[in-house]
Structure 1
Amino acid sequence: MRQLALLLPLLAAPAVAQQAPSPVSLDTLKTVTRELSSDAFEGRAPATPAEAKTTAYIADRFKAAGLQPGNKGSWFQDVPLVQLTYRNVSPMTFTGGKAPVSLAYRSDMVVATYRVQPKVAISNSDVVFVGYGINAPERGWNDYAGVDVRGKTVVILINDPDYQAKTLDGPFGGRAMTYYGRWTYKFEEAARQGAAAAIIVHETEPAAYGWNVVQSSWTGPLLEQDTPGDHQDQSQAIGWMQLAKARELFASAGRSFDQLSAAAKRKGFKAVPLGVKASVRFDAAIKRQASKNVVGILPGSERPDEYVLYSAHWDHLGRCDAVNGDTICNGAIDNATGVAALVAMAEAYRKTGAPKRSVVFLAVTAEEAGLLGSKFYAENPVFPLAQTVGGVNMDALKVRGETRDFVTTGAGKSELEDMARPLLAAQGRRMSPEPTPERGFYYRSDHFSFAKLGVPMFDGSAGEDAVEGGVAAGHAAEEDYTEHRYHQPGDEYDPAWNWGAALQDVGFYYTLGRQLADGTAWPNWYPTAEFRAIRDKSRAGR
């Protein structure tokens, strides 16, 4: 992954190899995806009436596939969540500059809070531009050095300072995003610094999605893990602003947004007080409710206390901003397809016989709210993480034609990649570098929750080198999905979908998991991976 091959043209590859028939059922993939993404499930938002219908359907399909309840006789693991629904949101105003600047809710900015409290009021808070908002001592980088932002509002750039690099060399991995580039990190660090409010400037390229995605994801009821203390250690307000409004704000402060953004890319950047004050108010309706992970298990025949894990999130956005009168974000690709893959693989294992190790099938909640379901499971595992060999996460199957390549997110980290390469080669496919590493997919799905606690989890999917149409066709399909369907009502089931790439991928996931389940290997992270130490510690003495 971390090599100049990112920029090289994709090499020619042989046509997809002919293999023995896969045990994975295409009919199951279609049926489960179509059902879960129908309007009857209302977009599968957690903590809504649709949740009970969704989780019951998944448990029924797990049972029919031959699995056993995975949590002490139950199909479910309760995940304590708190839902915040925002009301009476005022415009966000900036005063004290050349002219007042006002940002309208939804169209110009979105705002929320991690704090569980009924009212938030930021009044005349000093505004500081903190560049990329990164504090990384191991890299000699601190955007907060020399500035006290306690009680202030910080304005932050999205992604890493070197996201526009052409290679994977740079202080933050070059073009590949690190966790420092994720919006979740930006808000975490702002809170550690004591900021009252943290506002990220939205730009489509470094964010990897348009404003429509921010708007649809941040303006409905938002979920957070329900923990003691009600997150009072977090900033009072967090959110995003449109790029045009950021330019207007900086101009009012007598500054150039473009010049300061360029300066923020260089090591040694010093935060800049803008000399203006921010204000915003909103109310929050609070609802505490346990959501559910769905857990099924196929017990191992020889080593039942060793576990291979398949994961996929069942949730989506529920009701969202209307597009052409449609207000349901159905989440067909994201991620009814992943849940369908869980069911199809459970059926495949039943067809092919009990594995030697136990195989766990985990459909998690609240991925869209920040990986909350997988985070809760990883921190409160039903089956010990030290005894979890590894596994595969599935998020958004590629419903298009077969490909000659496969892209692993976060490649270069785990020995699972060594197992994967010959299995992909048997399909006539090669492992390709991520075409868009700057989008940070490694930190955007549930495998990351397990990786942080040491469990090697494989995540990846069909690449862009389509058998029919080559890279141009594959790339066009990816961009079309991102622009027109991702986190929008347009992510609906289509009977005309080509399931070629999905069948390749699910067949590969099955084979990789089966090899783990029938083998004795304990794949680890590579020595240079950031998760190696915690895995070694958890496995010590076993």
Structure 2
Amino acid sequence: MRRLTPLCALALLSACSPNSAETEIQAATELKPVQINETRFRNDIKALSSDEFEGRAPTTHGEKLTLEYLSKAFADMGLKGAFQGSFLQPVPMVTYTADENQQITLADLPFQYRKDIVVSSRHDNGGVDIQNAPLVFVGYGINAPEYGWNDYQDLDMKGKIAVILVNDPGFARPDSGKFNGKAMTYYGRWSYKFEEASRQGALGALIIHDTEPAAYPWSVVENSWTGPQQDLVLSKAEQDSRVQVEGWLTLDTAMKFFDKAGLQLPNLMARAADSPINLPLQQTANIAFKNKAEYANSYNVVATLPGNQQADEHILFTGHWDHIGMDDTKEGDKIYNGAMDNASGIAGILEIARQLSDNAKQGHGLARSVTFIATTGEEQGLLGSRHYAANPIYPIDKTVAVLNLDSTNIFGKTKDFTIVGKGKSELERYLEDAVKGQNRVATAEKNPANGGFFRSDHFSFAKLGVPAVFAGGGSEPVDEATANYKTQMQATMKGCYHNVCDEYHEEWDLSGAIQDLEVYYQVTRTLGNSQDWPGYYAGTEFNSLRPAKTELAGATK
């Protein structure tokens, strides 16, 4: 027990309030090891991914139920509503719904919506009616001066539609030294490709889907890019500069109209991987469909556990509460429950918040504040996190780090711990230390080509220089029994990413997820009682925004 100061001891009854004495007693209690409550964790996943929540699409009844559930949970913990006393931060959204009846021809060949091509428009214009727009192949659609690469060199894209390869040249030529080898850069992301086509003044942009470099099958595109599509409400200038139509087409579809143009797409793909390329196809596109725009607020749920010394410095937890919702055009099961993606991550955030708030009530609070952000619209392009990053409740320069939970481990305990995009920031060292305490080893993801670092909410903060990690799970089961279970469960969940079969299973082994939650908890306690400000290593995209104090060579790889 800490000793009372002499002054306080002499004036115990007058100067030392009951609250002070209570604090002394609380501070004397031993901080117990974290004990994640699996039953509570499991029940949160089960509830949030139930049919009652209708797939948790933004601006729907499912959102209303989700916001009520999360707000009550944070209130019960005694956390503070971060947005003007409320847990709900408004995120102005517009929902675009493209009519299913679409007339699409490329090189005078008709193609079927959903089966061959998926297109939409993020404009409040009543619809799209594009006639005889020239098609231009622009390789990977990249303009990256630092790599000496510009697929748009000397091109005027006004009134034209860009046809673009997925991923970046490093994937096709991993040993060439181009870009980052198999590990996707931001230039390989679909969001970048649409943004760059817009900057180039293009009328439209179509990405050629190819399963291996995309890292997901066509079904993911069909399920995710059809039906209502949410976006942030943009300024008129931002809106006007955006391509009129954006979408995806299958590789087979592309092959057909390239053949019609007298060109061999495989040969052009090889050329595009070797050097920048742009080539008018001497063919045109006709695209027509009705488009509806509806405006409504969605909400991030933001709750803060105030620090007791450096309360203006915040560690952020992010995880998206939204999923795809319902699709009434489907036969049978119409609900995208999103149990693994991302009811599991939100349940993890809730459990970590409960542990930290319980500690604070027992006199073991953190010096720094911890803020939990359950974001909206991640599935539509990181909308909630982008809005928070652009309109932060707490200043970005007072944001120490971001820890992101998205699709937690349902396959049992592992010997390793995956850090997506490993090697970017000093924040990873805190995870590595916590993992060592579990006799595990931190490793990079097995498939860096899928660009995981750029695909979840932490990236909205990384772009502003805040060290951010997306981590968890592993590839090596802890024993043979777990390996056998993992094989069986992977077969059960095969094809369920962004599909209606991503549903809760009672037989899920959540012990591996609990391992990972304990890592995040330990990192939060360590960093939350620290004066450290982690930064990005030299040579990474965000080093200039918040540079590391140490060299990458000093970090465990």
| Residue identity opposite 1:257 in structure 2 | L
Aligned 1:256-267 pairs, distance under 5 A? 256-267=264-275
Match of 1:120 among 128, 132, 141: 128
Aligned to 2:555: none
- Structure 1 Cα separation of the partners of residues 329 and 129 of structure 2: 29
The CA deviation at 1:323 is: 6.9
The CA deviation at 1:389 is: 1.0
- Structure 1 Cα separation of the partners of residues 35 and 285 of structure 2: 59
Is contact 1:66-1:346 (8 Å) kept? no
Is structure 2 residue 123 aligned with structure 1 residue 111?
Answer: no
Is structure 2 residue 49 aligned with structure 1 residue 37?
Answer: yes
Secondary structure at 1:432's aligned position in 2? strand
Secondary structure at 1:124's aligned position in 2? strand
Aligned 1:259-298 pairs, distance under 5 A? 259-267=267-275, 269-298=276-305
| RMSD between superposed Cα atoms in Å | 2.0
The CA deviation at 1:528 is: 2.4
Aligned to 1:465: 476
The CA deviation at 1:355 is: 1.3
Is contact 1:132-1:159 (8 Å) kept? yes
- Structure 1 Cα separation of the partners of residues 181 and 54 of structure 2: 40
| Residue identity opposite 2:470 in structure 1 | D
- Structure 1 Cα separation of the partners of residues 489 and 153 of structure 2: 40
Aligned residues: 512
Aligned to 1:15: none
The CA deviation at 1:197 is: 1.2
Aligned 1:137-148 pairs, distance under 5 A? 137-148=145-156
Is contact 2:34-2:518 (8 Å) kept? yes
The CA deviation at 1:468 is: 2.9
Is contact 2:366-2:525 (8 Å) kept? yes
Moved more, 367-376 or 23-32: 23-32
Is contact 2:327-2:334 (8 Å) kept? yes
Is contact 2:138-2:163 (8 Å) kept? yes
Say if 1:77 and 1:219 are closer, same or farther in 2 by CA, change over 3 A. same
Is structure 2 residue 73 aligned with structure 1 residue 61?
Answer: yes
Is structure 2 residue 319 aligned with structure 1 residue 312?
Answer: yes
- Structure 1 Cα separation of the partners of residues 162 and 402 of structure 2: 39
Is contact 2:165-2:207 (8 Å) kept? yes
Is contact 1:308-1:357 (8 Å) kept? yes
CA offsets, 1:59-107, max 9 Å, x none?
Answer: 1011112212111211110001100111154232023xxxx31111111
Is contact 1:465-1:474 (8 Å) kept? no
Is structure 2 residue 308 aligned with structure 1 residue 301?
Answer: yes
Aligned to 2:192: 185
Is structure 2 residue 375 aligned with structure 1 residue 364?
Answer: yes
Say if 1:221 and 1:158 are closer, same or farther in 2 by CA, change over 3 A. same
CA offsets, 1:246-281, max 9 Å, x none?
Answer: 1111111111111111111012x3311111110101
The CA deviation at 1:34 is: 0.4
| Residue identity opposite 2:395 in structure 1 | P
Say if 1:471 and 1:260 are closer, same or farther in 2 by CA, change over 3 A. farther
CA offsets, 1:373-427, max 9 Å, x none?
Answer: 0000011011111111113110010111100111111111110112221210111
Match of 2:394 among 383, 400, 412: 383
Say if 1:156 and 1:447 are closer, same or farther in 2 by CA, change over 3 A. same
Aligned to 1:331: 338
Aligned to 2:3: none
Is structure 2 residue 219 aligned with structure 1 residue 207?
Answer: no
Is contact 1:464-1:470 (8 Å) kept? no
Is contact 1:464-1:473 (8 Å) kept? no
| Residue identity opposite 1:335 in structure 2 | N
Match of 1:523 among 534, 550, 556: 534
Is contact 1:309-1:391 (8 Å) kept? yes
Is structure 2 residue 181 aligned with structure 1 residue 174?
Answer: yes
- Structure 1 Cα separation of the partners of residues 494 and 94 of structure 2: 31
- Structure 2 Cα separation of the partners of residues 421 and 27 of structure 1: 27
Moved more, 368-377 or 115-124: 115-124
- Structure 2 Cα separation of the partners of residues 337 and 42 of structure 1: 16
Aligned 1:67-146 pairs, distance under 5 A? 67-87=79-99, 89-95=101-107, 100-146=108-154
Say if 1:444 and 1:44 are closer, same or farther in 2 by CA, change over 3 A. same
Match of 2:157 among 126, 149, 163: 149
Is contact 2:421-2:444 (8 Å) kept? no
Aligned to 1:7: none
Aligned to 2:444: 433
Aligned to 1:393: 404
Moved more, 354-363 or 63-72: 63-72
The CA deviation at 1:469 is: 4.1
- Structure 1 Cα separation of the partners of residues 216 and 489 of structure 2: 12
Match of 2:166 among 155, 158, 162: 158
Say if 1:471 and 1:183 are closer, same or farther in 2 by CA, change over 3 A. farther
Secondary structure at 1:125's aligned position in 2? strand
Aligned to 1:446: 457
Q: Which has the higher contact order (CA 8 A, sep 6+)?
A: 1
Say if 1:205 and 1:483 are closer, same or farther in 2 by CA, change over 3 A. farther
Secondary structure at 1:291's aligned position in 2? strand
The CA deviation at 1:365 is: 0.4
Aligned to 1:12: none
- Structure 2 Cα separation of the partners of residues 457 and 371 of structure 1: 14
Aligned to 2:5: none
- Structure 2 Cα separation of the partners of residues 315 and 519 of structure 1: 33
- Structure 1 Cα separation of the partners of residues 410 and 428 of structure 2: 23
Please tell me whether Structure 1 or Structure 2 has the larger radius of gyration of its CA atoms: 2
Is contact 1:198-1:239 (8 Å) kept? yes
Is contact 1:46-1:365 (8 Å) kept? yes
| Residue identity opposite 2:205 in structure 1 | A
Is contact 2:411-2:489 (8 Å) kept? no
Aligned to 1:8: none
Moved more, 205-214 or 319-328: 319-328
| Residue identity opposite 1:461 in structure 2 | G
CA offsets, 1:277-328, max 9 Å, x none?
Answer: 1010111111111100001111111111111111111000001377771110
Is contact 1:79-1:376 (8 Å) kept? yes
| Residue identity opposite 2:134 in structure 1 | D
Any gaps of 5 or more consecutive residues in structure 2?
1-31, 549-557
- Structure 2 Cα separation of the partners of residues 52 and 464 of structure 1: 36
- Structure 2 Cα separation of the partners of residues 160 and 432 of structure 1: 23
Say if 1:470 and 1:203 are closer, same or farther in 2 by CA, change over 3 A. farther
The CA deviation at 1:32 is: 0.8
The CA deviation at 1:241 is: 0.6
The runs of at least 4 aligned residues of structure 1 exceeding 6 Å deviation read 321-324, 470-475
The CA deviation at 1:23 is: 2.7
- Structure 1 Cα separation of the partners of residues 329 and 525 of structure 2: 43
Secondary structure at 1:191's aligned position in 2? helix
Is contact 1:466-1:474 (8 Å) kept? no
Say if 1:239 and 1:321 are closer, same or farther in 2 by CA, change over 3 A. farther
| Residue identity opposite 1:103 in structure 2 | F
Say if 1:471 and 1:171 are closer, same or farther in 2 by CA, change over 3 A. farther
Is contact 2:141-2:196 (8 Å) kept? yes
Say if 1:181 and 1:80 are closer, same or farther in 2 by CA, change over 3 A. same
- Structure 2 Cα separation of the partners of residues 101 and 530 of structure 1: 42
The CA deviation at 1:483 is: 4.0
The CA deviation at 1:482 is: 7.3
| Residue identity opposite 2:95 in structure 1 | Q
- Structure 1 Cα separation of the partners of residues 103 and 493 of structure 2: 29
Secondary structure at 1:280's aligned position in 2? strand
